[in-house]
């Protein structure tokens, strides 16, 4: 049983929902990211999505695109991220929080001749979400990750048919990620009223926990999502808070305070 599955089972037994924050690795630098990971774990993050910066982030809105640009100037890639996650596992507060690597397929290509699953597992990664990997082309990759006891998380869009939802669910483990709206990531003023119905359709195809993300930015929106889903994912709002505080000695604490407020809404 993976750390992600254990976490969702613990939350379900306690009658709670999951708060899943996202940050971009290396934004504004790796040392700050490492401090942020520990702070998010201490703030109550149930699972953390750690984004790998990429030069062509087609699924990301302007806030996360700018974060990737800042990180790539360092530069930061998978090779730099894995040792950082491994160090996180040495801290008591970071030992048990599940980490999902949020990436595009290209950054993983540097490990094409290696056993990627074992390498990720040894570093302390619990799951992977590859935004541009479709289930029709994922058989060998999913098999490799499952052999390494790493969960595969796939995105389900508002436009997904029931047939496609079933296909995605069959390739998924850990949880499935429902995209709250079409388009790229980013802060939104409201959540589409169709998301609840989409979550219901997903539940007809799988017993995996359902997380909802893309556009969730306030405690009120987190509370709304947690009313019908198993987890709320918040990314752009936290990344925006990082951007707003670059150069401030209080950056980590301000992001952690926002995370605590979002977690309390679950």
Which residues are identified as catalytic?
Answer: 49, 60
Distances in whole angstroms, Cα of residue 113 to Cα of each of 102, 108, 109, 116, 175: 21, 10, 8, 8, 28
Rg (CA), the chain: 17
Q: How far is 95 from 210, CA to CA, in rounded Å?
A: 24
The kind and range of the H/E element at 24 are: strand 18-24
Q: Are strands 18-24 and 151-153 parallel, antiparallel or unpaired?
A: unpaired
Which value, to the nearest 10 degrees, does the dihedral of the CA atoms of residues 61, 63, 65, 71 take? -160
Count of CB atoms situated within 10 Å of the CB of 107:
18
- Give the tokens for residue 85: 């996650």
d(CA 26, CA 53): 8
Give the list of residues 6+ apart from residue 199 with CB closer than 8 angstroms, or none.
178, 210, 212, 228, 229
Cis peptide before 75 (omega within 30 of 0): yes
C-alpha triplet 39, 40, 43: angle, nearest 5°: 85
218 Ramachandran zone, left/alpha/beta (phi>0; psi -120 to 50):
beta
């Amino acid at each position: 049983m993976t750390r992600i599955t254990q976490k969702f089972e613990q939350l379900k037994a306690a009658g709670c929902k999951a708060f899943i924050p996202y940050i971009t690795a290396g934004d504004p630098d790796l040392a700050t990211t490492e401090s942020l990971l520990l702070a998010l774990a201490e703030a109550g993050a149930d699972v953390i999505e750690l984004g790998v910066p990429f030069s062509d982030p087609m699924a990301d809105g302007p806030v996360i695109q700018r974060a990737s640009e800042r990180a790539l100037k360092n530069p930061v890639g998978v090779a730099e991220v894995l040792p950082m996650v491994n160090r996180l596992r040495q801290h008591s507060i970071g030992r048990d929080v599940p980490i999902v690597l949020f990436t595009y397929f290209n950054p993983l290509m540097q490990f094409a001749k290696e056993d990627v699953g074992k390498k990720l597992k040894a570093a302390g990664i619990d799951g992977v979400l590859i935004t541009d990997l479709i289930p029709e082309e994922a058989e060998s990759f999913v098999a490799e990750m499952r052999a390494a006891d790493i969960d595969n998380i796939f995105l389900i869009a508002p436009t997904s048919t029931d047939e496609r939802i079933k296909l995605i669910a069959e390739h998924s483990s850990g949880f499935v990620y429902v995209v709250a709206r079409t388009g790229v990531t980013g802060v939104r003023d409201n959540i589409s009223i169709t998301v609840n119905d989409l979550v219901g359709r997903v539940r007809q195809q799988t017993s995996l926990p359902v997380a909802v993300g893309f556009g969730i930015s306030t405690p009120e929106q987190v509370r709304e999502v947690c009313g019908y889903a198993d987890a709320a994912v918040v990314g752009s709002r936290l990344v925006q808070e990082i951007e707003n505080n670059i150069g401030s000695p209080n950056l980590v604490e301000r992001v952690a305070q926002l995370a605590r407020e979002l977690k309390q809404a679950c």
